[in-house]
Structure 1
Amino acid sequence: MIDARTRNAAFALFRAHYEGADQARFERDLGEKQRVILLRDHGGALRGFSTVLYRDVRVGARNATMVFSGDTVIDRSCWGQKRLQSAFAGLLFRLKLRHPDRPLYWFLISKGWRTYLLMANHFPRAVPRWDLAEPPELRAALDLFATERFGAEYDAAAGIVRYATPHERVRDGVAPVEGDLLANPHIRFFVERNPGHADGEELACLAQIRMRDLARTAAGIAWKRIAGGR
């Protein structure tokens, strides 16, 4: 895992972006994760991170692998970069290669539109989406994972996690949904499905990760790096 200095820097970054952040809760969340992806600038300062948990699960009659995203923060100065995204895609790719014939799922909860948009843009076989009918088996798997993790805090009918105790929420002005953003149908859908996102309510999501989706994501990241270099 990461050392105390990095943990403190990660919490400072988290607190800067989320109101109501609690260090004890942050440390508990961090302690259960197997991986922490770190984003540093050229001087070594921490500019972003994402925590990841993965485990073998049983979905219906099949064995599968479930990847759960925990706390994820990227400093505004690094918005638009693809290194954190690339590292996460690399982890998904390695997990898929371990068991090519086994379903791989990305389970996430989101109170911010950016994380939801990342899923919607790169992994079309996912729930919920505005543009595709929900595969019943994906919805059933999402309800299973969310209920196991959040219990009564998960409202399956709405697909929302509502915490029983005070929880963090995105600080005002960090990533407001305003102006032209609502012209994006994915962002508009996220806001409609999770009207309490500004209060810290989380939209539960599940994507099935396929090799062709990972290949397309990798190609897109590579092209943006080349174009950026030009």
Structure 2
Amino acid sequence: MTLVNLTTSSPVSFVSLLGITPQDVSAWFDPSAASASSSSASMLADTSAHGVFGTLVWTLTALWTRLGELAIAIPLSSIMLFVLVAPLVYYILRPIIKLELLHHIAKNGSSKKTVYGSLFAYCVRTELLDDAALHELLVLAHDMVDVRSESELELFHRYLLSFLYVIIFRDQVDGSLRGMFLIDRERGQSYNGKSFTLFKTGLALFKASNRGGPLIYLAFFYFFIKELIWHPFTPLYGVFKCFSVKSYLMAKRSSESVWPQAGVPTPAWEQSLIDSFGVKTATGQEVYDPVTGVINRTTTALRPDVAPISEEDLKNPDIRFFAERNPRWDQGHLLVVLYKITWGCVFKSIVAILRKTFRVKAQQKLLRIQSKHRLLRSPSVKDRFEQARRVTVVDPLTNCQADTH
């Protein structure tokens, strides 16, 4: 195979790979020059006169002519299909490419970060978290969880170390902590001797202003689709301790196979996975009940305003089942939930990402209309930061200008 360097090779040496002579090129541009002398052909082949630009012109012309000779015609329907499908493919692949940066973790703990929406995220190993990072994560947990233990930091750290990675979400403007969740992966052998992969997740916490967006779906979507591509024939499951009914509903919306669920008995092997996870993750102050699949605990509980269940909500069969299976959820008791991850989950995640993205953008647009602040792109750092410009108004009493926030 012959390799040609465009910056050093002459146009003749490159175009000759296509079987085209300078006389052919001369004839294409000027038919009357088809019978030109060899001196004119040598003039066309002068590298100093044409250089890389000449190479490009000759190559494009040669390709166009060869396509015409082969009578290759692209149907109009194929072009229209490409025009319609290309934007959709770009919209789906764009967050996946960004999350590729999110998951890149070196053994020494270095990480790359990605930006999506108003937050950027990075992934670190839990064993590398220092005291300052632990305190910051604990403050975030305090916004949603009521901690009743005196050794709360030690308990929180021990729970973090039970997972391999923590994904941290920060604000683009001030770098403040906005969200986090824990994730881990382990492999095992199923009852029939086949291997399986189990994703463990926990503590998916976000500030109130950042809840309801597509970030959590994007992160799960990336991890799951990567595992499905690299191990297409290995069964994939996810398991977590369900703090609130919102987490249970998220699992129900994302997967067809969820255990436990109303009216469907849990198979024996799936129940063994639930029991194993419940026993391993239960600490000294927690007791796992294999009959109900609930971890009884009194150390922490969700705050009442995070995920309340009203009488109207109980009309939903899934919410009613969650409340009946774990009646003391408001006191901090946790329901262990197992779900199977398939390509159907991936497509449902895509739908959820699109739906939540459009909803968040609509809410942000409404807030911009209602707010007095105007968000301007910072000219110094482009897309990374935004600055708020104060709106100057005139006080009717003093007839003076005042800045309002």
For each residue in 1:56-91, what CA deviation from the matched residue of structure 2 results, as whole angstroms up to 9, or x when unmatched? 122212211111112221211122111122112211
For each residue in 1:101-120, what CA deviation from the matched residue of structure 2 results, as whole angstroms up to 9, or x when unmatched? 11111111113111111111
Aligned to 1:160: 294
The partner residue of 2:316 within 184, 194, 198 is 184
Number of residue pairs the alignment of both structures matches: 228
Aligned to 2:146: 19
CA–CA separation in structure 1 for the residues paired with 2:359 and 2:282: 42
Q: Please give the secondary structure, in 2, of the residue aligned with 1:134.
A: coil
CA–CA separation in structure 2 for the residues paired with 1:155 and 1:30: 22
Q: Please give the secondary structure, in 2, of the residue aligned with 1:154.
A: strand
Q: Please give the secondary structure, in 1, of the residue aligned with 2:186.
A: strand
AA aligned opposite 2:144: H
Q: CA 1:81/1:135 → structure 2, altered by over 3 Å: closer, same or farther?
A: same
Q: Please give the secondary structure, in 2, of the residue aligned with 1:37.
A: strand
Aligned to 1:52: 183
Q: Please give the secondary structure, in 2, of the residue aligned with 1:153.
A: strand
Q: CA 1:62/1:226 → structure 2, altered by over 3 Å: closer, same or farther?
A: same
CA–CA separation in structure 1 for the residues paired with 2:321 and 2:250: 14
For each residue in 1:173-208, what CA deviation from the matched residue of structure 2 results, as whole angstroms up to 9, or x when unmatched? 232212533233222211111001111111111001
AA aligned opposite 2:202: G
- Residue 228 of structure 1 deviates from its aligned partner by 4.5
- Residue 149 of structure 1 deviates from its aligned partner by 4.0
Structure 1 residues 42-121: aligned runs within 5 Å: 42-43=172-173, 44-60=175-191, 61-121=193-253
**Is it true that 1:122 corresponds to 2:248 in the alignment?**
no
Q: Please give the secondary structure, in 2, of the residue aligned with 1:222.
A: helix
Structure 1 residues 23-42: aligned runs within 5 Å: 23-42=153-172
The partner residue of 2:331 within 199, 203, 213 is 199
- Residue 132 of structure 1 deviates from its aligned partner by 4.2
Q: Specify every segment of 5 or more residues in structure 2 that has no aligned partner in the other structure, as ranges.
A: 1-123, 363-405
When structure 1 is superposed on structure 2, of 71-80 and 216-225 the one drifting more is 216-225
The answer as to whether partners of 1:147 and 1:154 remain within 8 angstroms in 2 is yes
For each residue in 1:192-230, what CA deviation from the matched residue of structure 2 results, as whole angstroms up to 9, or x when unmatched? 110011111111110011112112212331244245546
The answer as to whether partners of 2:214 and 2:352 remain within 8 angstroms in 1 is no
For each residue in 1:125-172, what CA deviation from the matched residue of structure 2 results, as whole angstroms up to 9, or x when unmatched? 110112545344323332333334449922111111124xx4211123
The answer as to whether partners of 1:49 and 1:84 remain within 8 angstroms in 2 is no
The answer as to whether partners of 2:243 and 2:335 remain within 8 angstroms in 1 is yes
Q: Please give the secondary structure, in 2, of the residue aligned with 1:64.
A: strand
The answer as to whether partners of 2:135 and 2:153 remain within 8 angstroms in 1 is no
Q: Please give the secondary structure, in 2, of the residue aligned with 1:162.
A: strand
Larger radius of gyration: 2
Q: Specify every segment of 5 or more residues in structure 1 that has no aligned partner in the other structure, as ranges.
A: none
Structure number with the bigger relative contact order (C-alpha 8 A, sep ≥ 6) is 1
AA aligned opposite 1:52: I
The partner residue of 1:7 within 134, 140, 146 is 134
CA–CA separation in structure 1 for the residues paired with 2:241 and 2:360: 31
AA aligned opposite 2:243: K
Aligned to 2:107: none
Q: CA 1:179/1:79 → structure 2, altered by over 3 Å: closer, same or farther?
A: farther
Give the TM-score of the pair, scaled to structure 2.
0.52
Q: Which runs of 4+ in 1 moved over 6 A?
A: none
Q: Name the % identity.
A: 23
Q: CA 1:109/1:3 → structure 2, altered by over 3 Å: closer, same or farther?
A: closer
CA RMSD of aligned residues (A): 2.3
AA aligned opposite 2:183: V
CA–CA separation in structure 1 for the residues paired with 2:282 and 2:235: 23
AA aligned opposite 2:276: L
